[in-house]
C-alpha cells in the first residue's frame, strides 16, 4: 500500500475526530529517521504522519542546501518504501513561514500540480502555512490563497493562529509575550469568516501555551482548555459543523492529562519532534558508549568494523526512536486503529 491517498488521509482524520484520538506527527530529517518513524507506526498498528520542516528538508538535501529538493527527495523515498508497510503513512510539511514560502511551499505545490496533470496523487498529503507572525488579517488572507491552491490538488492545509513558544529550526519565539501564545475566540471566529468551515479542507494550529522543545523553565503554561473556549465560540455562532480539526504543536514533554484534554476538544494531530530527536540520539550514544573501544581506534588499536559501521549505531538509533513513536501512539489512542488494517481485513 503506498502513502495514504487524499481520500484515505481525510478518512484517517475523520475517524480520529469521531473516535477521540489523534495521530503523532513525527518530524524527520533523513531516510534513517523516516524509517524509524514508519517502523514505530507499524509496530503500534497505527496510521501516522511524518513531516519535514524547512530546516529539516534543507538538511536532507545535503550540501546543495535546497529545502524543496530535500523535501521532494524524502517524499519520493517515502512513497517507495511506504508501499511495504502494513499501515498508512501521510506526508506533511511543517511551519513554512511567509519568507520561506517561495522556496519551499510554492515549488512543492507546483510539483503536486504537475502530478495531477499526469493523473497522479499529490506528493504531500498536507502542508502548513505558518503566517502567525503576521497581523491576523494578512495571515488569514494568505492562508485563504494557499487553501484554495492546495485544495485544488487534494492537499489539506494547516494554518496557525497565535504563536508557538520556544525555538524550532530557526523559528524562535522564546522572547514572545505570553499573551501572544494563546489564541482567542476572536481569532477562531476570524478564521471561520476568512476560510469557511474546516470540513476536512484545513486543520487549525491554535495555540494554548504550546512550546517547541522541552525546557526546565518556560515563559508560558500549557492550557488545553483554551481549545474548548475557541470551539465553544464558533459552535455558538455557526453550529457544530464549524468545529475545527485542531493540531497540537509542541507535544514533546506534555503530560497525559494535558494530551487527553486536548483530544477532548478536537485535536487530531500532535507534533512530536524534540523527544524523537533525543531518543534517536540516545540510541546511537548508548551503542557508542557501550562499544567505545570498538567504535574508536583507541591507543593505536584497530577498532571493530562491525561496531563502527554506521549501520550498527543507526540501527540502535532507529530502534530507540521507533519505541518513542509507539509510546506517542499509545498516549494519543491511535494504537491498533489503522485504516489500512481495516481495509486489508475487509478485502480478505
CB 263 within 8 A of CB 333: yes
CB 129 within 8 A of CB 108: no
Torsion of CA 234, 236, 241, 246, to 10 degrees: 40
CB 319 within 8 A of CB 281: no
194 vs 140: CA distance, rounded Å: 6
184 vs 170: CA distance, rounded Å: 26
Q: What is each CA distance from 145 to 75, 99, 156, in whole angstroms?
A: 24, 16, 13
Chain centre to alpha carbon of residue 338 = 17
Q: Strand pairing partners for 325?
A: none
Reduced to 3 states (helix: H, G, I; strand: E, B; else coil), residue 55 is helix
Q: Annotated catalytic residue: which of 94, 130, 187, 273?
A: 94
Q: What is each CA distance from 64 to 59, 70, 100, in whole angstroms?
A: 9, 9, 17
Strands 156-161 and 126-129 come out as: parallel
Q: Please, what is the Cα angle at 155 between 171 and 238, to 5 degrees? A: 90
304 catalytically annotated: no
Q: What is each CA distance from 167 to 173, 271, 273, in whole angstroms?
A: 6, 14, 12
Contact partners, residue 38, CB within 8 Å, separation at least 6: 48, 50, 78, 81, 82, 85, 89
Contact partners, residue 347, CB within 8 Å, separation at least 6: none
Q: Which residues are catalytic?
A: 94
Amino acid at each position: 500500500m503506498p502513502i495514504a491517498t487524499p481520500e484515505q488521509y481525510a478518512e484517517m482524520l475523520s475517524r480520529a475526530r469521531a473516535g477521540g484520538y489523534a495521530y503523532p506527527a513525527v518530524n524527520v530529517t533523513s531516510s534513517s529517521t523516516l524509517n524509524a518513524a514508519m517502523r514505530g507506526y507499524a509496530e503500534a498498528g497505527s496510521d501516522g504522519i511524518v513531516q519535514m520542516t524547512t530546516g529539516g528538508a534543507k538538511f536532507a538535501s545535503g550540501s546543495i542546501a535546497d529545502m524543496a529538493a530535500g523535501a521532494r527527495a524524502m517524499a519520493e523515498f517515502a512513497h517507495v518504501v511506504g508501499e511495504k508497510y502494513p499501515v498508512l503513512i501521510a506526508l506533511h510539511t511543517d511551519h513554512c513561514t511567509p519568507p520561506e514560502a517561495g522556496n519551499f511551499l510554492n515549488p512543492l505545490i507546483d510539483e503536486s500540480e504537475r502530478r495531477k496533470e499526469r493523473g497522479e496523487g499529490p506528493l504531500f498529503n498536507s502542508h502548513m502555512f505558518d503566517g502567525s507572525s503576521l497581523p491576523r488579517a494578512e495571515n488569514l488572507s494568505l492562508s485563504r490563497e494557499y487553501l484554495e491552491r492546495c485544495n485544488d490538488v487534494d492537499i489539506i492545509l494547516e494554518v496557525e493562529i497565535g504563536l508557538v513558544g520556544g525555538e524550532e529550526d530557526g523559528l524562535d519565539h522564546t522572547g514572545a509575550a505570553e499573551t501572544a501564545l494563546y489564541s482567542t475566540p476572536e481569532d477562531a471566529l476570524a478564521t471561520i469568516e476568512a476560510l469557511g468551515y474546516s470540513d476536512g479542507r484545513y486543520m487549525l494550529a491554535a495555540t494554548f501555551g504550546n512550546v517547541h522543545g522541552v525546557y526546565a523553565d518556560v515563559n508560558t503554561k500549557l492550557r488545553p482548555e483554551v481549545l474548548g473556549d475557541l470551539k465553544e465560540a464558533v459552535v455558538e455562532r455557526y453550529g457544530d459543523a464549524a468545529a475545527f480539526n485542531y493540531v497540537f504543536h509542541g507535544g514533546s514533554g506534555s503530560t497525559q492529562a494535558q494530551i487527553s484534554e486536548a483530544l477532548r476538544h478536537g485535536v487530531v494531530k500532535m507534533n512530536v519532534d524534540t523527544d524523537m530527536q533525543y531518543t534517536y540520539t540516545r540510541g546511537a550514544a548508548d551503542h557508542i558508549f557501550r562499544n567505545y573501544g570498538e567504535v574508536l581506534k583507541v591507543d593505536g588499536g584497530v577498532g571493530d568494523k562491525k561496531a563502527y559501521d554506521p549501520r550498527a549505531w543507526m540501527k540502535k538509533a532507529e530502534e530507540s526512536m521507533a519505541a518513542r513513536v509507539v509510546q506517542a501512539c499509545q498516549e494519543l489512542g491511535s494504537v491498533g486503529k489503522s485504516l489500512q488494517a481495516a481495509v486489508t481485513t475487509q478485502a480478505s
